[in-house]
Copies of this chain bind each other. A is one copy, B any other.
Amino acid sequence: MTAEALLTDFYELTMAAGYFACGKASDTATFDLYFRQNPFRGGYAIAAGLEDAVRAVLDLRFHSRDLDYLAGLRSARGRPLFPEAFLRYLAEFRFRGSIRAIPEGTVVFANEPLLEVSGGLIECQIVETVLLCHINFQTLIATKAARIWEAAGRGTIVEFGLRRAQGPDGAVSASRAAYIGGAAGTSNVLGAARFGIPPRGTQAHSWVQSFASELEAFRAYARCFPDDCVLLVDTYDVLASGLPNAMVVARELQQQGGRLAGIRIDSGDLAFLSRRAREILDGAGLAHVRILASNELDEYAIEQIMAQGGRIDSWGVGTKLVTGEGIGGSALGGVYKMVEHNGRPKIKRSNNPAKTTNPGSKRVVRFYSEDGMMAADAVGASSEDLAGGEVLIVDPANPLRRKTLTETRRVELLHDIVVDGRLVCDFPSMEEIRDRRAAELDRLDPSYKRLLNPHEYKVGLTLKLWRLKEELLERKA
């Protein structure tokens, strides 16, 4: 994905032009990027998309073709929409602000900033949409993958979604995020090549149909791919035809010193068929043959199949993984809100307390119990020292709900990523991000991972931040 300066909402440019014309080009601001509800009505999310988002911001340049397009836009009265002075400003535009963010692969929760952008008002505004686009989508998909991975008892998940993904890059971004969240491979070769994900896939029903018999089709595939031979056994009938034919090939491979890697079942009752196939394979001395399953799977289907004793070694999950389908729709509703302007904290009030913003630049500190499990997160002012001592947190949606945190193990979640336009960190490798995700989920109690009605993890404002919020609300009221 190359940086495209025009990959932005039009209003970012009209606002930028307005700020420029009003003499606000040297105003400063801070914005928070966060979501208000965990995706899928779940108990957590997995942060993802940061590297793509930050690279897009740092590479953002208005090239001459972009400026020509903008220069050609006309107002309703036929006058140039954007003044020439503003277009000259855009021609020189570089992001010179700063970004702090929670690393990819971290467990995160609603209402804590995943990202804080500070710098000139115009530059902070211009990067809004591209940041949201990358982080909303990849966080959604990484979370979906983590839910599926957990539902499968941390088994092998292969992402099969390209054909029904939301456009070519919807697919490629999804492959990356699914790998972060828990997938072990992808069918998408471009995603595999770009991110170092193991590519996976064998044959479709059309392969079997193009031979005179299923057995001939299986033999042909085994001849071509003897070391990685997975046979699709449901073109005609899994138990009456596909499995017996696959077992013939398994024995032929054994005679040549090889092994059948697996069978794939893509229709029917996956719990029943996999149990029965496992018994038959084991009874025939073919315990090494793995069983792969696919067909409209998601975390709910997998949980049911697991509960009914399904014997599936590898799950192919497509559409519902890469589109992040689930309760609440296939999108994460991340927002980007101004929290400071020219050094002064700002608030946007709403009748809905969950939509009233939290003012000012912040820090997010995670508290861990003695056993290493996550206990609660405190969102405080960036000027606060939360490294030691008791910390009282307030639930901003219900300020009577308070909790005193005394845990001594604490970790700051927001890290410096960009300072004054310069990248100040090395982005972690995909494997490091995956390791982080697995370690993070180890430290999250299972009650927060339930698919239905998960326990609500505590994220509160420090008393100092809560009082600042109250003060600003009173001043406005």
Contact = CB atoms under 8 A, between A and B. Distances in A.
Interface of A: 1, 4, 6-15, 17-19, 21-22, 24, 27, 29, 31, 66, 69, 73, 75-77, 79, 81, 121, 125, 128-130, 132-134, 136-138, 160, 162-174, 186-190, 192-193, 199-207, 209-210, 220-221, 223-228, 235-236, 261, 267, 319-320, 323-325, 329-334, 336-338, 341, 346, 348-350
B7 A189 contact: yes
Most chain-B CB neighbours within 10 Å: which of A18, A187, A332? A18
B169 A13 contact: no
A348 to B, nearest CB: 6
A164 B332 contact: yes
B323 A166 contact: yes
A163 B132 CA distance: 5
Nearest to A10: B201
7 contacts: A15-B204, A15-B207, A75-B226, A79-B227, A167-B170, A209-B346, A324-B330
A224 B9 CA distance: 18
Please state the number of chain copies in the assembly.
Answer: 2
A9 B69 contact: no
A29 B204 CA distance: 15
Contacts of A24: 210
A159 to B, nearest CB: 11
A164 B189 contact: no
A203 to B, nearest CB: 5
A129 B171 CA distance: 11
Contact of A77 (B136, B227, B334, B337): B227
A389 to B, nearest CB: 34
Contacts of A134: 167-168
Contacts of A121: 210
A206 B31 contact: yes
B7 A190 contact: yes
A25 to B, nearest CB: 12
A21 B226 CA distance: 13
A76 B290 CA distance: 14
Contact of A164 (B66, B220, B320, B334): B334
A170 B166 contact: yes
A341 B18 contact: no
A358 to B, nearest CB: 14
A115 to B, nearest CB: 13
Contacts of A334: 163-164
A325 B319 contact: no
Contacts of A190: 4, 6-8
Contacts of A9: 160, 162-163, 187-189, 201
A220 B323 contact: no
A10 B168 contact: no
B171 A7 contact: yes
Contact of A10 (B192, B267, B348): B192
A36 B216 CA distance: 30
A165 B9 CA distance: 12
Contacts of A77: 227
Contact of A81 (B27, B187, B228): B228
Given A164-B332, A190-B4, A330-B329, A203 B15 contact: yes
Contact of A209 (B129, B170, B201, B348): B348
A205 to B, nearest CB: 6
A129 B164 CA distance: 9
Contact of A170 (B4, B125, B169, B338): B169
A14 B167 contact: no
B320 A329 contact: yes
A174 B8 CA distance: 14
B22 A224 contact: yes
Contacts of A79: 227
B169 A168 contact: yes
Given A29-B206, A133-B168, 17 more contacts: A1-B168, A6-B192, A7-B168, A8-B162, A8-B190, A10-B188, A11-B204, A18-B225, A125-B206, A132-B163, A133-B163, A133-B171, A163-B336, A164-B334, A206-B337, A209-B348, A319-B333
